[in-house]
Structure 1
């Protein structure tokens, strides 16, 4: 059986401005802002929530299926997925569009100016959950608004349990729509900021929202994560990484651990620990898909830290 990962495929173009934005932006002229930054360093990373989650889930022995929409510029990503032996059966190319992409300029103080183009992501509703076979778990990750709503409905109607992971797409939805997602989902995963926004939009506390699902997971970065399940709160500490390089994609790595734990009937503490370990392994490399470990290496690291083996 497979885990169906509905979400974005994207390119991340990251540029480094070797100065500080504040030295080139005049506060009194902010209303007529017109600036240009020389960025001698630039790199392009493979990203998107669906791509990142699938990459990590396969690395630990899961069976991911990517469901996403891409544009005319998809070929480099297609070649990468082929090399990784990640199936592309449910990656739909939308003619006349670009693959979703973020253009990120970072200064020496790690301030960022980001422009995001959704492109083909806006057509994610052209994919249907029913097109994927042998699926026993799914996730609705950040994607086009219509696609996220449709895929949640289709998972629910098909009786396939799924994780609602709104991510940066959360502001697109009203409180009523978010409650509908929660009621349809079996699990909800958010970071601390998203969790607070979810509460504000819905008018419900995390404890109240958790009563509607089997598990509500809130990640806190370096402070670990909290899992609300069965009327209890399971606090999971973060795993100390070998080095801090780039947090991009750490949340997606954690979610891969979450999906693996659910499909293998791991208890919540062990599931959260696996997610934390994957996030720590990822943060030591730039981009969302440049860390590489074998299943045995991950299992050994898990054993060294937690004293048990991954199921």
Structure 2
């Protein structure tokens, strides 16, 4: 049995700029109907990102064997080399030479308000990236083009590969019927508390009721930790102690990686959720989605400090 983890989702670039002022001073309510503004942004950084890229990065930190499943353009050559240098199998990243890699352009002001634009690029063809026949212990279907998410989910279900369904930023694309179909294919659901409320509203079922048809459902609650729904029980997973809060970007992806590692290693669901919280805690103390670099020893120490277990030793 392979211990690979198929990580289906976006592989993208994040370009982040900072406006050293306040949007509210330039976007005026009485002129919003003819908006035309330009912001001087003296600082800029470009980050490797995308849900599949971020989850694979964090899973590799843990010593896992992630295999990202994504669709990129020719401009992603440096990203692919970077992943390979980390020891990540990039054989299921499909390159479309006549398209751009998905890209998010974010401008932040001094109040931490954000204006963002997303170009899907090659991601619109993610459904054509066929993972059929690739053995894996677990998989995750993370935010991507809707057609790609369904294609991956159906292929994973058909070949008997258990997977996590992570709705995330794809939430606006899924109706109640879409969600119910995806939940019939998946083994585990992950969502933050806002996403969970939308899922409940659109399906007409509570998360506890949804979890009855799954192996588990995990709802993250930011600084309050997470809630595990499994086996008819609801378990609160205490949050970790965080040294500092720098940037929440990618925290959900880090959390998913911890959960996936625990599932692959056949840990208890509670311990897998604890590791997920630890990984989110490391991520939030670093700017950007892939710039935190804790060692396995440091992750194990954090597990011991926060939960009294050191399963990575």
1:59 paired residue among 58, 61, 66: 61
1:7 paired residue among 9, 32, 37: 9
Q: CA deviation at 1:303?
A: 1.4
Q: CA deviation at 1:94?
A: 1.1
Q: Is the 8 A contact 2:62 2:296 kept in 1?
A: yes
Q: CA deviation at 1:82?
A: 2.0
Q: CA deviation at 1:185?
A: 0.4
**Distance (whole Å) between structure 1 residues aligned to residue 57 and residue 77 of structure 2:** 17
* TM-superposition CA deviations, 1:217-275 (whole Å, max 9, x none): 10011111001000001101211211111000000000011101111121122111111
Q: Secondary structure at the match of 2:191?
A: strand
**Distance (whole Å) between structure 2 residues aligned to residue 113 and residue 51 of structure 1:** 23
Q: Is the 8 A contact 2:225 2:237 kept in 1?
A: yes
For structure 2, the 5+ residue unaligned runs are: none
Q: Look up the match of 1:296.
A: 297
**Distance (whole Å) between structure 1 residues aligned to residue 45 and residue 200 of structure 2:** 37
**Distance (whole Å) between structure 1 residues aligned to residue 171 and residue 21 of structure 2:** 33
Q: 1:265 to 1:213 in 2, by over 3 A?
A: same
Moved over 6 A (4+): none
Q: Is the 8 A contact 2:241 2:306 kept in 1?
A: no
Q: CA deviation at 1:296?
A: 1.8
Q: CA deviation at 1:84?
A: 0.9
**RMSD (Å) for aligned C-alpha atoms:** 1.0
1:93 paired residue among 72, 79, 95: 95
Matches within 5 A, 1:95-110: 95-110=97-112
Q: Look up the match of 2:310.
A: 309
Q: Is the 8 A contact 2:65 2:88 kept in 1?
A: no
For structure 1, the 5+ residue unaligned runs are: none
Q: Is the 8 A contact 1:8 1:51 kept in 2?
A: yes
**Distance (whole Å) between structure 1 residues aligned to residue 270 and residue 13 of structure 2:** 33
The count of corresponding residues between Structure 1 and Structure 2 is 310
Q: Look up the match of 1:114.
A: 116
* TM-superposition CA deviations, 1:185-207 (whole Å, max 9, x none): 00000111111111111111111
Matches within 5 A, 1:158-173: 158-173=159-174
* TM-superposition CA deviations, 1:12-51 (whole Å, max 9, x none): 0001000000001111010111100000011001000101
2:20 paired residue among 18, 33, 38: 18
**Distance (whole Å) between structure 1 residues aligned to residue 143 and residue 67 of structure 2:** 16
Q: Secondary structure at the match of 1:66?
A: strand
Q: Is the 8 A contact 2:60 2:86 kept in 1?
A: no
Q: CA deviation at 1:95?
A: 2.2
Q: Is the 8 A contact 2:139 2:164 kept in 1?
A: yes
Q: CA deviation at 1:131?
A: 4.6
Q: Scaled by the length of structure 2, what TM-score is found?
A: 0.97
**Distance (whole Å) between structure 2 residues aligned to residue 248 and residue 220 of structure 1:** 15
Q: Look up the match of 1:259.
A: 260
Q: Look up the match of 1:231.
A: 232
Q: Work out whether 1:191 is the aligned partner of 2:192.
A: yes
Matches within 5 A, 1:72-91: 72-91=74-93
Moved more, 78-87 or 244-253: 78-87
Q: CA deviation at 1:308?
A: 1.4
Q: CA deviation at 1:305?
A: 2.1
Q: Secondary structure at the match of 1:130?
A: coil
**Distance (whole Å) between structure 2 residues aligned to residue 287 and residue 102 of structure 1:** 13
* TM-superposition CA deviations, 1:131-174 (whole Å, max 9, x none): 52x31211000011111001111111111110001111021011
